[in-house]
Amino acid sequence: MQTRIQGTVMPVLEVRLEPNESVFAESGELSWMTSSIQMTTHTQMGGGGGLMGMFKRVVGGGSLFMTEYRAAQAPGEVAFAAKVPGHIVPVSVSPGNEYLVHRHGFLCATPQVSLGVGFQQSLGAGIFGGDGFRLQKVGGTGTAWLELSGELIRKDLAPGETLRVHPGHVGAFQASVSFQITTVPGIKNAIFGGDGLFLAVLSGPGTVWLQTLPISRLAHQVAEYLPSNDSGGGRAAVGGGLLGGIVGSLLSGDDK
């Protein structure tokens, strides 16, 4: 297997597979592939785990269906492009070297990598889309590729070193890092500070990857410029309704 990440602002991961080699991704992640690649969609992928493994993956924010891309009789290539401006990050996974990633951060992985729930906390209606804050756990053995939005900031935390972060900027971190959600101290800070009611607290040792452009924040900024009624009529109203629906689904379905 050979891989390369191409592009800058909107990168794409290209994976060249030898016969019988494969990778898997959530359904809908495919960008393009050569004719020798065979697609197979399952509910149980990524290191197995049976029904319980599937349940953990869905609870963690992943998809019910996973697609395997396998080179059949000849070498082939499959590609996965980033959905928003950002970076694609490869990580080596093994027992004792696992990762937690934001719920939409998993791009694809080699067959023995597993996905599960890493963290879940209900923060009340209206916060992060009303369905709480969730992280996926990437475990097993192999290589996984993560998609992080915006610019990428890496922090290597020493034992006991603590970083407080707006939850939406948490891209991924090693499982050795302690993680919890806490409220912003002080009622004035919470009500008038403009930074939200919650902060993520990460404590070392381990590596943390911060993303500068949470998808929910991008959607919120775009929504400000969308038409709010159909007074313009015609194509503008239809286009505004379509874009509004897309942004609305981002806002209601994303938890960062």
Whole-number Å distance between alpha carbons of 199 and 184: 6
Nearest to 86 by CA among 31, 146, 157: 146
The CATH code for residues 2-152 is 3.60.160.10
Question: Which of 1-10, 99-108, 185-194, 209-218 comes out lowest in average pLDDT?
Answer: 185-194
φ, ψ of residue 11 to 5 degrees: the values are -75, 165
In angstroms, rounded to a whole number, what is the distance separating the alpha carbons of residues 128 and 67?
Answer: 28
pLDDT at 242: 44
19 SS3 class: coil
The predicted model gives 14-30 an average pLDDT of 95
29, pLDDT greater than 50: yes
pLDDT at position 196: 52
Q: What is the pLDDT of residue 209?
A: 97
Average pLDDT, the chain: 79
Q: Which residue has the higher pLDDT, 132 or 6?
A: 6
How high is the pLDDT of residue 185?
Answer: 64
Digit-coded pLDDT (tens) for 191-247:
444 445 788 999 999 999 999 987 766 666 677 777 766 544 444 444 444 444 544
Residue at 121: amino acid letter = Q
**Mean pLDDT, range 3-29, rounded to an integer:** 95
